[in-house]
Amino acid sequence: MAARKSGLGRGLDALIPQEHPESGYAEISIDTIRPNPDQPRVEFDQEALDALASSIAAVGLLQPIVVRPDGDGYVLVAGERRLRASKQTGMARIPAVIRGESESRSNVTEALIENLQREDLSVLEEAAAYNQLLEEYGMTHGEVGHLVGKSRSAVSNTVRLLALPGPIQAMLVAGQLTAGHARALLGTEDEAYAVHIAERAVAEGWTVRRVEEAIRLRSTQAVGSGGAVGTVRPAAIIELEERLQDRLGTKVKIDYRGKGGKIMIKYTSPEDLERIYRYLFDPSG
């Protein structure tokens, strides 16, 4: 199977010229990119890379890497995981933000925000751009929301779509599922079951509410067969779980056991973990 060269739709694709190698957006040859000598990480989780490669094979690379010109090629500034996963899929060219020598970080940030204000971006392209502002430019969900005129929860819920399995992302890009369907599918950590429900929803024309009911039924069955048999979670715990998900922009599970329990926070990459860590120590964002 030939890998798609890019996941960018006509919204960002129109902004990626092919012959502007010094700055701005461009598709560049992967062979011209050299690793960042200041990259502190030398080991990458292969399972996580495989999952990202699967997503790229399904819908393309939604979030461009960041490079800077260096001699006859480029040096990677941000996006090591994306670059490695793209190589796994066999991509020859990759979409990149090229940061010129005199170009400040704020210039690139402003360009990303301007792209987000276009009306023809897909929801996954929007999610990827939000994620880039969060991970690579250190913004909080609240700051991104303020800049693009959306609520913090709207930004958080959109970013969470990037955690969906590749097949579901492909259905979303193809217009077979709506963002509402996709958000409902985030309600289960069983990826195989989520894909199964997504396929049935497409084949049988399910509403968002029906998808939500299927996910809720699965969760109820899991509780009934697990270690906490018969434990009913109070509405206040469920509401708190949802508020934490909105705040942190990721899946949060509260394992309620009466007087105590556990809070489990899902992250999709080391960069995402760092983002959550920063947020927990800066809750005003």
pLDDT given for residue 102 in this prediction = 56
**Positive or negative, the Cα torsion across 35, 41, 45, 51?**
negative
Q: Is residue 265 part of a domain?
A: no
Query: Which residue do the tokens 């929860």 mark?
Result: 153
In this predicted model, which residue has the larger pLDDT, 17 or 266? Answer: 266
Query: Which residue do the tokens 């990459």 mark?
Result: 269
pLDDT given for residue 34 in this prediction = 87
Cα–Cα dist 107/173, whole Å: 29
pLDDT tier at 70, thresholds 50, 70, 90: confident
Range of the domain at 180: 167-225
pLDDT tier at 277, thresholds 50, 70, 90: confident
Q: Are residues 97 and 179 in the same domain?
A: no
pLDDT given for residue 120 in this prediction = 64
Q: Is residue 276 part of a domain?
A: no
Q: Is residue 183 part of a domain?
A: yes
Q: Which of 183, 207, 225 is the last residue of a domain?
A: 225
Name the residues annotated as catalytic: 80
CATH of the domain at 87: 3.90.1530.10
Q: Is residue 234 part of a domain?
A: no
Cα–Cα dist 152/159, whole Å: 11
Q: Are residues 12 and 88 in the same domain?
A: yes
Q: Which of 178, 198, 225 is the last residue of a domain?
A: 225
Q: Is 47 buried (19+), middle (13-18) or exposed (0-12) by CB count in 10 A?
A: exposed
Q: Is residue 51 part of a domain?
A: yes
The whole model's pTM is what? 0.56
Q: Kindly state the tokens that stand for 185.
A: 């599918």
Q: Which of 103, 125, 159 is the last residue of a domain?
A: 103
157-211 pLDDT, tens digit per residue, is: 888 888 888 899 999 988 899 999 998 898 887 888 999 999 999 999 999 999 9
Q: What is the largest CA-CA distance in the chain?
A: 65
Of 147-161, 164-178, 217-231, give the lowest mean pLDDT range: 217-231
What is the DSSP secondary structure assignment for residue 231, as one 8-state letter? P
Q: Are residues 85 and 176 in the same domain?
A: no
Q: Are residues 98 and 183 in the same domain?
A: no
Q: Is residue 127 part of a domain?
A: no
Give the chain's domain count: 2
Cα–Cα dist 100/284, whole Å: 33
85-98 pLDDT, tens digit per residue, is: 999 999 889 988 88
In this predicted model, which residue has the larger pLDDT, 199 or 220? Answer: 199
> Rounded to an integer, what is the distance from CA 67 to the centroid of its chain?
20
In this predicted model, which residue has the larger pLDDT, 161 or 25? Answer: 161
Q: Is 37 buried (19+), middle (13-18) or exposed (0-12) by CB count in 10 A?
A: exposed
Q: Kindly state the tokens that stand for 142.
A: 């609240």
Q: Is residue 97 part of a domain?
A: yes
Q: Is residue 249 part of a domain?
A: no
pLDDT given for residue 208 in this prediction = 92
Return mean pLDDT, the chain: 76
